Structure 1
């Protein structure tokens, strides 16, 4: 458990240098090795006692993060299975596990707004570093997880369970570590944790001034030096991570008063989502279900979901949830979405087949001052002659020089209201789910976003969107790649109702992909993913 180098350091601390110099000349190497070997055995026994004590303390704790069962990841690591797993739930479980263990060991800590807000960062004092290792190693023995050095970055222990001694071989030099738990849901199609985890920084005490200060080992979003006796306060998770729900159920964490500062990219206004429902039937309902689940999983900050139904509403849609509003509307309602009852000023539009593929922030679609950040598409010669570009030029007097991608797009009521007052209207768009090829930019998107850009109300961005037609030859391979990588923020599927896709199995392949990519039910539907009735 304790290597010879640790024993050598202890030997140097307890034996004065003059004595070591004399011993080096007069004591044989064999005797010196025997003394150091005795130190190694003594330190091993002491560390084992401390580990057993930390393990007993951890086992006495009441951890609500216990999983239903355990599973193996494709690379052989141990994961935990949870019903209804979401990215936000995993973040909360990780935070509660670590903070409960630190509290049980009476180790003071506080949350730090890290530069990378995918992860929650905690700070402890450098003097508690030894105790932190013991209590976390005990915790990782009870709840199997993994630990790596975050500063300096060293991931060579990522495959070694954190309960093993060799998982901590880089701990002595680490200024910050990352503890992760891999989590999945019962179908084991969705794995969460690899890009998250809890980072723990070791802050040093500086006593050069009249009052002690704590100095952080690396930059954060606020400051690296704080007073050691600063007041502790509660802080919402949305201040620590832009991927969290502003009004969510995560509850607060604890930080110092100096850190309760809004992020530069923080969005404080509510954002709704609008889902257009047009296609009754099995594949159409699956597209609607997947859009709802992608919002639940990857955009927990969305306030109210509005389903604009242009077809009979599916029976499984749960309309009794306060966050869901269902409105019947005729076809071509894109330009009148600002007239929806109680819709927020800012909202995302999901046309059939539009999905979120990984965690998002409100800042990915809006700026703090309220302007939109629509996603740009590929500008081609054919796109420059599309009818919507002429309407956009007539409405603004400015030539169109960019197009906009499929997938979820941000809107504001004020832009749609301004378009309506100007008399500009986009021509009807062909149904992208029944066409034999991929469509260009949606006319309503092109007109609205160009109008907003011309009036300084939009700042187009370039995040990649995966656009797939269900009739694509070899679509199974493409879907398997998307499922394995899960690295694209936006997805959009077209052509599920086309004759080619229905006759050659492309629609069936996309439906199977969606069930695997989004296995966790949203609160907007009856049933659960394990219930066969969910897919009837």
Structure 2
């Protein structure tokens, strides 16, 4: 049995060191040695409470027995895990639900799904059934590397093997009750007990999961199924949620579950009161649109050179500003195979996406499963038919035509191929239940005033966009948008394209980004906000420049902590392109090790 690491810090350090060598600190000569890169110190571990220590010892001893008797297990992140190659996190989460439900059905214990804002499965257990559930889970997972987190309100008390239930619960609660009695202040004479006192650390639920390891990735408690032991209501009617609030509050009149819902093709009972169509729940289809280019394609290179020659009289592609084509800089088109991992991130963390539309300049990566029913490749020529525009190498021009993608749903996410989902998200992270999209303003402020020679094409286009919107709606939007998947409505893009047709006309026909452009997506989003058709949302977003030593250190932290809902890996020019590509590829391959269904089988 191997012990598999779950960190990538060491993988990112060589490039971070390279970046430091190329960026001397202030006052340091070009030949100055970079600061040494220190290994992270081991985290300090405090003393465990006696009950937790006893549970940890019992778990460790039993893990050793299981490791000796079961084949194919690996130790990963302190857990015995099954090595897998193609398991997506949603599939693991659904699998844990299926296993728990199977055990409960086998012994006839009533249970019902509770909807949750987070991407997780919650099963409600009626008051009085806790002991039976613990015994069933212990028997149902005996001899298996299946774990149970002991849950209290807002925290995890301990982690044991599922087969060690209910003895582990008894041990924990007896110790907690004894501790509470020993530390309780003495009562004054004549005071009465107001009511029953539960142990401080009463186990109110368990999270059941079968760990799986894919490369450096571990599926553990984050994919578990929460089994919640609901409390009896004081009124003796209904039940009270024991751990987390539900969409209808803490109390429900009944936990009867006569209806069903389907998860991954399997029917499950759902608590009747939650079968209602709640207003914040997204039930409409959501697609994804990704724009992509392969700058290594010889045919594309010839088209780009021809377009450049028409505008400047030269086929040079140095990307400098002196020829008036700053928008033709090579870094705008560099393909580092990000598309593969962008699709993997959608498959892993947004399995609710109905269909993916890939917009390209008559290009298809060799590894793409173009026959997949959930994928459509849309060539530029289809979007620009009748527009009077030649081949375009301008993302602004392409964005002005996205509403023309055939078959596109009304609600969709627009995703650049260097933007990735970092952890599981829900449709409600991007849209309200009534269909309104969220928008995510950045902290960056575009300087006031008209475009000037000091502005690059990005800033100039944002200034033009801001001026066009202010003239139309009387509001000035100083901020740009974050580098996130952008939730959009097709009808709103079409309306914006019509409303600002004159202002966008030059952008549509501009072969390369130019200082006269508008940014169509920013325009449409701010237009929607100004007309009360979108609302501000929030995502934990990371932006990383791949030529920055500091950002490569932050990427190692991201890989370990997985704190970002989404993140962008922006190309830069301060490190050699091959070095950036190698580091980016290593990072993405480790962060997203599971192939998406859009990749052709080797």
TM over 0.5: yes
Note closer, same or farther for the CA distance 1:400–1:215 as it changes in structure 2 (3 Å cut): closer
Retained in 2: the 8 A contact 1:502–1:508?
Answer: no
State the SS of the aligned residue for 2:347: helix
The answer to whether structure 1 residue 266 and structure 2 residue 281 are counterparts is yes
Distance in 2 between the 1:152 and 1:406 partners?
35
Tell me which of 400, 414, 424 is aligned to 2:491: 414
Distance in 1 between the 2:74 and 2:206 partners?
21
What is aligned with 2:304?
Answer: none
Distance in 2 between the 1:371 and 1:102 partners?
39
Moved more, 306-315 or 147-156: 147-156
The answer to whether structure 1 residue 460 and structure 2 residue 536 are counterparts is yes
- Point out where structure 2 has 5 or more consecutive residues left out of the alignment: 1-69, 175-198, 298-333, 381-390, 451-462
Note closer, same or farther for the CA distance 1:431–1:468 as it changes in structure 2 (3 Å cut): farther
Map 1:268-283 → 2, pairs under 5 A: 268-281=283-296
What is aligned with 2:132?
Answer: 131
What is aligned with 2:302?
Answer: none
Offset at residue 334 of structure 1 (A) = 0.6
Offset at residue 153 of structure 1 (A) = 4.6
Map 1:330-341 → 2, pairs under 5 A: 330-331=391-392, 332-341=397-406
Offset at residue 306 of structure 1 (A) = 0.3
Tell me which of 80, 86, 89 is aligned to 1:87: 89
Moved more, 274-283 or 331-340: 274-283
What is aligned with 1:392?
Answer: 469
Distance in 1 between the 2:341 and 2:235 partners?
58
What is aligned with 2:567?
Answer: 491
- Point out where structure 1 has 5 or more consecutive residues left out of the alignment: 1-66, 238-248, 433-440, 528-532
1:146-183 CA-partner distances (Å, limit 9, x unpaired): 3233234553412x433346642336753621223253
Retained in 2: the 8 A contact 1:185–1:520?
Answer: no
Retained in 2: the 8 A contact 1:175–1:201?
Answer: no
Note closer, same or farther for the CA distance 1:227–1:272 as it changes in structure 2 (3 Å cut): closer
State the SS of the aligned residue for 1:262: coil
Retained in 1: the 8 A contact 2:153–2:242?
Answer: no
State the SS of the aligned residue for 1:369: coil
Tell me which of 236, 246, 259 is aligned to 1:220: 246
1:434-454 CA-partner distances (Å, limit 9, x unpaired): xxxxxxx99233212111111
Tell me which of 99, 102, 108 is aligned to 1:100: 102
Distance in 2 between the 1:255 and 1:171 partners?
30
Note closer, same or farther for the CA distance 1:449–1:384 as it changes in structure 2 (3 Å cut): farther
Note closer, same or farther for the CA distance 1:193–1:339 as it changes in structure 2 (3 Å cut): same
Map 1:469-480 → 2, pairs under 5 A: 469-480=545-556
State the SS of the aligned residue for 1:201: strand
**How many matched pairs?**
435
Note closer, same or farther for the CA distance 1:404–1:508 as it changes in structure 2 (3 Å cut): same
Note closer, same or farther for the CA distance 1:346–1:225 as it changes in structure 2 (3 Å cut): closer
What is aligned with 2:205?
Answer: 177
Distance in 2 between the 1:81 and 1:383 partners?
55
What is aligned with 1:255?
Answer: 270
Distance in 1 between the 2:414 and 2:518 partners?
12
What is aligned with 2:366?
Answer: 315
What is aligned with 1:370?
Answer: 435
Note closer, same or farther for the CA distance 1:261–1:70 as it changes in structure 2 (3 Å cut): farther
Distance in 1 between the 2:546 and 2:234 partners?
65
Note closer, same or farther for the CA distance 1:431–1:279 as it changes in structure 2 (3 Å cut): farther
Retained in 2: the 8 A contact 1:357–1:489?
Answer: yes
What is aligned with 1:72?
Answer: 75
Note closer, same or farther for the CA distance 1:287–1:186 as it changes in structure 2 (3 Å cut): same
State the SS of the aligned residue for 1:106: coil
Distance in 2 between the 1:458 and 1:376 partners?
12
Note closer, same or farther for the CA distance 1:123–1:333 as it changes in structure 2 (3 Å cut): same
The answer to whether structure 1 residue 233 and structure 2 residue 259 are counterparts is yes
Structural RMSD (CA): 3.2
State the SS of the aligned residue for 1:333: helix
Tell me which of 284, 288, 297 is aligned to 2:335: 284
Map 1:512-527 → 2, pairs under 5 A: 512-527=586-601
Offset at residue 347 of structure 1 (A) = 0.9
Retained in 1: the 8 A contact 2:114–2:122?
Answer: yes
Distance in 1 between the 2:446 and 2:111 partners?
58
State the SS of the aligned residue for 2:466: helix
What is aligned with 2:576?
Answer: 502
Note closer, same or farther for the CA distance 1:227–1:266 as it changes in structure 2 (3 Å cut): closer
Note closer, same or farther for the CA distance 1:214–1:379 as it changes in structure 2 (3 Å cut): closer
TM value normalised by structure 2: 0.65
Higher relative CO (Cα under 8 Å, sequence separation at least 6) belongs to: 2
Moved more, 288-297 or 476-485: 476-485
What is aligned with 1:241?
Answer: none
1:298-338 CA-partner distances (Å, limit 9, x unpaired): 11111110000125211211111111010110532111111
Offset at residue 366 of structure 1 (A) = 1.3
State the SS of the aligned residue for 2:487: strand
Distance in 2 between the 1:184 and 1:131 partners?
28
Distance in 1 between the 2:581 and 2:227 partners?
46
Offset at residue 120 of structure 1 (A) = 1.7
Moved more, 295-304 or 139-148: 139-148
1:476-518 CA-partner distances (Å, limit 9, x unpaired): 42321111111101111121xx554435712210111111111
Retained in 1: the 8 A contact 2:214–2:594?
Answer: no
Retained in 1: the 8 A contact 2:354–2:374?
Answer: yes
